[in-house]
Amino acid sequence: MAENKIDLPAFYGKKAGMTRIFDEKGNHVPVTVIKLIPNYVSQVKTTEKDGYESYQIAYYEKREKLINKPSQGHLKKANLEPKFARFAEIKADTAVDAENIGKEVSIEGFTPSTFIDVTGITKGKGFAGVMKRYNFQGGPAAHGSHFHRTTGSIGNRATPGRVFAGKKMPGHMGAKQQTVQNITVQEVNFEKGYMLLRGSVPGAKNSFVRISKAVKK
């Protein structure tokens, strides 16, 4: 590995969309295309100063005038020439080292056929009813029925006389952080800057996803 790179168990990429490929046996394989973007170490968290150890990662490069002043100062302290708008933390497998500030996160460890976990923000669906949100069956669609797509009874008797917390009801659907485990890396192309993941992952097009080594494999 190059001296200006660091090997970490996770990195951030950009979901470009989905497509399909054909493997060597001619089987149709649906894949998600991940655009590989630069990830740099912008800060080192230590037990003495912060109470725990981890690396802060900067990603999502923008023009300098679109970066707020505190972030510009933070990046200048880390001697990072590219200007980044997003920051996240990754816990390392080994002890942290302050000399790794400014190094780029290596993705050479994410080779084809390896298992990974992908975390992203799911697509927001807005305010949804129980049939769409929780797959409720609903009521009769016939004329005269006053029970079509509504929730139905949500209460109990006079005791306890209240609606239990966590009851499945209409509300905001989607736009939540979700992790899909044990996704297979199908292909990695460093020259063109993309990675193919077998199957689908959370998030809309052009959203950012966290790709980490599988914890259950």
Q: In the chain, what are the helix, strand and coil shares in percent, each to the nearest 5?
A: 10, 40, 50
Determine the CATH number of domain 5-124+174-213.
Answer: 2.40.30.10
The percentage of residues in the chain with a pLDDT greater than 70, rounded to a whole number, is 99
User: What is the torsion angle, in degrees rounded to the nearest 10, for the CA atoms of residue 157, residue 162, residue 164 and residue 168?
Assistant: 90
pLDDT per position as a tens digit, 35-46: 999 999 999 999
Percent of the chain with pLDDT over 90: 85
Residue spans of beta strands (DSSP E) within 47-176:
54-61, 84-90, 104-106, 115-121, 126-128, 171-173
Show the tokens assigned to 159.
């005791």
**What are the sequence ranges of the domains in the chain?**
5-124+174-213, 127-173
**Would you state the pLDDT for residue 155?**
87
Name the pairing type of β-strands 5-7 and 104-106. Answer: parallel
pLDDT category at 215 given cuts 50, 70, 90 is very high
Alpha carbon separation from 87 to 57, 84, 176 (Å, rounded): 5, 8, 19
pTM comes to 0.88
Q: What is the pLDDT of residues 11-63, one digit of tens each?
A: 999 999 999 999 888 999 999 999 999 999 999 999 999 999 999 999 999 99
Q: Average pLDDT of 121-131? A: 96
Give the total residue count for the chain. 217
pLDDT in tens, 170-179: 999 999 999 9
